[in-house]
Amino acid sequence: MHGTGVPLVTPIADDGRVDHERLEALVDWFASAGIDFFVPCGSTGEAPLLTADERTQVVETVADATEKPVLAGTGHEGYEPTLEATEGAAAAGADAALVVTPSYYGSDDAALGRYYHNLADKSPIPIYLYSVPKFTDYPLSPRLVESLATHENVAGIKDSSGSIESIQRLVRFTADADFSVLVGHGSVYAHALDAGADGGVLAVANAVPDLASEVFEIHQSGDAAAARDLNAAIVELNRTVTARYGVPGIKAALAHRGLEVGPPRRPLEPVGEDAAAEITAVLEAALEA
């Protein structure tokens, strides 16, 4: 996995079921906008609010709709359900699994190291670590990641901490391994690429896949300063849509771009009129940059 990945929202129909037809249309739109790989059933995809069967079906729909790589979110709070979900994602066509850090009961690096190592031993597809302290309140330490990167079936990490220091350390500590470092925070995408990241999995890419992809392409062309300038144009959008309003905000932004993806899953609720107006304003500003 390298380049710009999108953690797909999950379209929901009026009756509350997953809308697979709209999901296929989303995949087509993102592919045409330059997205390099797809990440269904992540945090932005409301994975904790989907049933196990729904998650597998979402992965299958995405994998059938694209020839681009699919990195499926399979993490649960326990080892057995995570392994089961990973096996299901592999059977559904996923190329790799993104496994969020278990957090409900708390843990430490030693226990998490054994957890990921054992999972990688059994997984039929490569494992990507997923550190998202905003939700888990526990960042995976770069030294732990360094130890896991030597496992032949641990292929990378999505670091959503927003810390460039963390990205720098991850890149340095895993330099000798066949291991991808992906940033999960859209506001620092270009800066993470400067630090040696291989790409990103960016929630804001749901709203502006074309701009997010362009940041990577410009950086790859050698113009890091221009990539940072373009990245700066989506910082306010990322802060508003992703950090402030979350999944409901992202779905509102997609609706403004003409892609109806339905409401969020309960207990999440759609944004109100004032929030929708704010999202529209910052989205339009980003698109005009």
Q: Which domains does the chain have, with CATH numbers?
A: 3-221 (3.20.20.70)
Average pLDDT rounded to a whole number, residues 7-24: 96
Confidence of residue 16 (pLDDT cuts 50, 70, 90): very high
Partners of residue 201 on adjacent β-strands: 5
Confidence of residue 273 (pLDDT cuts 50, 70, 90): very high
The sign of the dihedral angle between the CA atoms of 163, 164, 166, 167 is positive
Across the chain, mean pLDDT equals 96
56 Cβ partners below 8 Å, 6+ apart? 85, 88, 89, 91, 92
- Residue 249 Cα to chain centre, angstroms: 16
Partners of residue 12 on adjacent β-strands: 18
* 46, two tokens: 């409301």
The HSE-up count of residue 201 (CA atoms within 13 Å, CB side) is: 34
> Which residues are tagged catalytic?
130, 158
Partners of residue 129 on adjacent β-strands: 99, 157
Question: Is the pLDDT reported for residue 203 higher than 90?
Answer: yes
Q: Does the predicted TM-score (pTM) go above 0.75? A: yes
Phi-psi region of 93 (alpha: psi -120 to 50; beta: other; left: phi over 0): left
Nearest to 239 by CA among 189, 195, 178, 185: 185
Instruction: Decide if 47 contacts 41 (C-beta within 8 A).
Output: yes
Nearest to 200 by CA among 25, 20, 42: 42
24: exposed, middle or buried (C-beta count within 10 Å: 0-12, 13-18, 19+)? middle
Confidence of residue 229 (pLDDT cuts 50, 70, 90): very high
User: Residue 201, annotated ligand binder?
Assistant: yes
Confidence of residue 235 (pLDDT cuts 50, 70, 90): very high
pLDDT at 289: 75
Confidence of residue 217 (pLDDT cuts 50, 70, 90): very high
Q: Return the amino acid letter for 176.
A: D
- Expressed in angstroms, the distance from the first to the final Cα of the chain is 28
Question: Is the pLDDT reported for residue 146 higher than 90?
Answer: yes
pLDDT tens figures, 80-117: 999 999 999 999 999 999 999 999 998 899 999 999 99
pLDDT at 107: 87
Nearest to 160 by CA among 183, 177, 144, 138: 183
Average pLDDT rounded to a whole number, residues 178-193: 97
CA dihedral 72, 75, 76, 82 (to 10 degrees): 80
Question: Is the pLDDT reported for residue 241 higher than 80?
Answer: yes
**In the chain, pLDDT over 90 holds for what percent of residues?**
98
35 Cβ partners below 8 Å, 6+ apart? 4, 5, 6, 68, 205, 209, 212, 213
